[in-house]
Amino acid sequence: MDSSSLAFPNVPLAPAQAVGMQLRAEYFRGQIDFRAFCARHPHYRILSTNPLVLEPEAGVWVYLARFGAAVFWNASPGTVEEVLRDLEALPGTGVRAETARDDLRVHLRADADRVDFSEVWLRDLTLDKLKIVSLALAQSVALDSVEAEVSQAMARFGPVVTALRDEGRLVFGQKDLLRTVGFAMAVRATVLDTLTLFDDPPETWESEALAHLDGALFDQFDLEERLAAVNQKVAYLQDAGGTVLDVLARRKDQRLEWIIIILILVEVVLFVWKEFPLK
C-alpha cells in the first residue's frame, strides 16, 4: 500500500494556526521492521507505510526510517519516550545511539520554502514535505552514529599504525590485532549498508520544488562532505586492515618456515645419532 492510499501527500497537515514546530531525531543501531511495529502498535494512526509516518495524536507526527532513525514532529517528551520505548522493545532495532541525536526548528506560513541555519521555513506542511525534511534529519543522525563508529575504529588502529611506522613490526598480540581488524570490517559493513540509503527521495522525482527543498537540506546538513569524509576513512580502514592481515600472514609463514627448519635439523640430528652413535 502506498502513502497516497492512506493520506493525500500534498494536503496541508498542520493546523492553520501553527507557525512553528520543533523536530527531534533519534537513531538506533539496527533496522526498524515497519510491519512488525505496526502489528505491535495498531493504535498509532498511519499516514504512510514506506517510510512509516505515524500520527499518535492530532498535530503530532513520527517519521520512522527503515535504517534506524526516528524523527518526531511537535511531540511532547512523554510521546517521544513512549515511541522510543516501543522501538527499543522491537526485535532487530538495536540499541539507541546516545551520541546520535539532533534537533531542528520548522517554521510554517512562510513566503517561500527555504532552509536557513538550523531552521527550515515552509509555506505549508504536506506529507511529502514532512518526508523530505524528516529524511534529511534522519540521514544526518545516521551519519552522526556512523562517524562516531568510524572514529572509534580509526582510534583503535592508531597504535597499530604507529608501531608499524616507528618499529617496523606488530607489537600487539595476534588476537588483539584480529579483533581490531574485525571491528574495522564490521564498521565498514555498517557504513556501506547505511550509505546505500542516501539516494534521492522518490518525492523529488516529479516535483522541482521538492527537489530544490531536498537539495537545500542536503547542503544544510553537509551530507555530501560528511559522506565523502566517511568514505575516505572507510577506505583507509580497509587498506590498514589489509596491511595488518598481510603482515600477520607473513609472520605466520615465517613461523612455519622456522618450524620446518627446526624439524629438519631434528631429523638430521636423529639420523646422525643413529648412523654414528657415540662410543
- pLDDT digits 0-9 by tens, 228-256: 888 888 888 777 777 777 776 666 655 66
Q: What is the pTM of this model?
A: 0.79
Is pLDDT above 90 for 132?
yes
State what percent of residues in the chain have pLDDT above 70. Answer: 80
- Cβ(34)–Cβ(49) under 8 Å? yes
Q: Which residue has the higher pLDDT, 115 or 270?
A: 115
- pLDDT digits 0-9 by tens, 56-112: 998 899 999 998 999 999 999 999 999 999 999 999 898 898 888 999 999 998 899
Cell output for 145? 552514529
Is pLDDT above 90 for 55?
yes
Is pLDDT above 50 for 154?
yes
Is pLDDT above 50 for 2?
no
Predicted pLDDT of residue 52 = 96
229 Cβ contact list (under 8 Å, min separation 6): 147
Predicted pLDDT of residue 3 = 42
Q: Which residue has the higher pLDDT, 164 or 278?
A: 164
Q: Which residue has the higher pLDDT, 160 or 252?
A: 160
Is pLDDT above 70 for 226?
yes
Predicted pLDDT of residue 252 = 64
20-28 and 96-107 beta bridge pairing: antiparallel
Counting Cβ atoms within 10 Å, is residue 224 exposed (0-12), middle (13-18) or buried (19+)? Answer: exposed
Predicted pLDDT of residue 19 = 76
Predicted pLDDT of residue 257 = 60
- pLDDT bucket at 227, cuts 50 / 70 / 90: confident
60-64 and 52-57 beta bridge pairing: antiparallel
Q: Cα(185)–Cα(153) distance, rounded to whole angstroms?
A: 9
Is pLDDT above 70 for 189?
yes
State what percent of residues in the chain have pLDDT above 90. Answer: 37
